[in-house]
Chains A and B, each alone.
Chain A
Amino acid sequence: MNRYELIETLVPVLKDTLVVCNIGIPSQELFSICDRENHFYMLGSMGLCSSIGLGLALTTNKSVVALEGDGALLMNLGTLATIGNRAPDNLILLVIDNGSYGSTGDQATYTNEATSLAAMARGGGCQSVIECPGDETARVLANALDAKQPSVIISKVVPGNRPLPVVPLHPIVLRERFKETIQT
């Protein structure tokens, strides 16, 4: 299973949650599979998906899923300590770990070698950390949403990208429609 096929299985589970989606091809794939107003697509700022998710989760009662990538998380590892100590019950960090910088040509990340993001999350203080194969992730995510506790899910998939256009929405539009979704 690759990232696109994984996101297809996640979309039904994400229907009623607020989603912050990692920069680049992950956002293009999610947008292409299913665009909803409760999706905030990042078009830049690699590594900050989980930090936006934390600020959002602390200021809303709705469930928040930060859909992060392994390469992006490796750029902001401090977030695992911040989340490990301060994440509220409504925040789930779901890392799509394909061991690859997909948007730049599938160069390998260190999760292909000795690095374990699950171990890093535990080391950061995250209490509920689950690493699972891609095809089990939708079920794991649904359980995590039911559990009402902060969770980190590391979903292991293989590299591979769909050739898709960029998300055709201006960041101001993304911001405004997302805020309206929260307020309703």
Chain B
Amino acid sequence: MDTEVIKTETWAELLYDSLRELGITIFCYVPDAGHRVLIERSISDNNVISVPLTTEEEGVAFLAGAHLGGKRGVLLMQSSGVGNCINMLSLINAGRFPFLTIVSMRGDFGEQNPWQLPMGQAVEPCLMAMDTLCLRIETREDIPSTTEAATQMAYKSDQSVAILLSQKLIGAKPF
């Protein structure tokens, strides 16, 4: 196992454990390399429901349904998926549903693929335009406190909240 993989697993394991400690039991996701460990942990965790989605907007509605059923969930997606969710965040916003998403970023710190930059750079303004609060994580040390802050803002204050995992944390991909 090379150093890069060990580093990834360390922050991702910490993030998963933080989410579970905060009572998150519903995980839905569109796969991304940055979310690999979280997805694998959620699949092998007998105490959570883990559902792969075909598109991110399904997840917005899925978590609204899970909230009606009384559970705390999180949508895992990559930054390009944010664009797919924008219209559907009206459901969250108008109904004041709690909503928590973790976005693994492309198109920010150190991006080498020009096609990733437009959506990556638009993530925060688009989410903010739909009244979704954005909390960015850039270092491993920020994970427990930011995850707790985001989860409490979502589930205690009925807010729509996105945690953005910067490429400073997850590393810029060479593709």
A residues engaging B (CB < 8 A)? 20, 40, 42-45, 47-49, 51-60, 76, 78-79, 81-82, 86, 171-172, 174-175, 178-179, 182-183
With a cutoff of 8 Å between Cβ atoms, the chain A residues found around residue B90 in the complex are 44-45
Please state if A56 and B66 are interface contacts (CB–CB under 8 Å): yes
A34 to chain B, nearest CB (A): 20
Please state if A59 and B69 are interface contacts (CB–CB under 8 Å): yes
Please state if B65 and A171 are interface contacts (CB–CB under 8 Å): no
With a cutoff of 8 Å between Cβ atoms, the chain A residues found around residue B87 in the complex are 45
With a cutoff of 8 Å between Cβ atoms, the chain A residues found around residue B28 in the complex are 55
Of A79, A86, A179, the contact of B70 (CB 8 Å cutoff):
A179
Please state if A43 and B88 are interface contacts (CB–CB under 8 Å): no
Please state if B65 and A51 are interface contacts (CB–CB under 8 Å): yes
Q: A44-B94, A54-B62 are in contact. Are A78 and B55 (CB under 8 A)?
A: yes
CA A40 to CA B88, docked complex, whole Å = 16
Please state if B60 and A58 are interface contacts (CB–CB under 8 Å): no
**Given A52-B91, A60-B68, 4 new contacts (CB under 8 A):** A52-B61, A55-B65, A58-B49, A59-B70
CA A47 to CA B57, docked complex, whole Å = 10
Is B63 an interface residue when CB atoms closer than 8 A count as contact?
yes
Of B58, B65, B70, B71, the contact of A78 (CB 8 Å cutoff):
B58
B residues engaging A (CB < 8 A)? 26, 28, 49, 51-55, 57-71, 73, 87-88, 90-91, 94-97
Please state if A48 and B88 are interface contacts (CB–CB under 8 Å): yes
Of B52, B58, B70, B73, the contact of A48 (CB 8 Å cutoff):
B58
A43 to chain B, nearest CB (A): 7
CA A172 to CA B96, docked complex, whole Å = 6
Please state if A183 and B70 are interface contacts (CB–CB under 8 Å): yes
Please state if A52 and B54 are interface contacts (CB–CB under 8 Å): no
Q: A59-B71, A178-B68 are in contact. Are A78 and B26 (CB under 8 A)?
A: no
Please state if A79 and B54 are interface contacts (CB–CB under 8 Å): yes
With a cutoff of 8 Å between Cβ atoms, the chain A residues found around residue B96 in the complex are 171-172, 175
Q: A40-B68, A44-B90 are in contact. Are A58 and B58 (CB under 8 A)?
A: no
With a cutoff of 8 Å between Cβ atoms, the chain A residues found around residue B91 in the complex are 42, 44-45, 48, 52, 171
What residue of chain A has the Cβ atom nearest to residue B64's Cβ?
A52
With a cutoff of 8 Å between Cβ atoms, the chain B residues found around residue A49 in the complex are 61
A75 to chain B, nearest CB (A): 10
Q: A51-B62, A171-B95, A175-B95 are in contact. Are A56 and B57 (CB under 8 A)?
A: no
CA A86 to CA B62, docked complex, whole Å = 12
What residue of chain A has the Cβ atom nearest to residue B65's Cβ?
A55
Please name 6 pairs of A and B residues whose Cβ atoms are closer than 8 Å in the assembled complex, sorted by A. A20-B65, A44-B91, A82-B54, A172-B95, A175-B68, A182-B69
CA A45 to CA B58, docked complex, whole Å = 11
With a cutoff of 8 Å between Cβ atoms, the chain B residues found around residue A171 in the complex are 91, 94-96
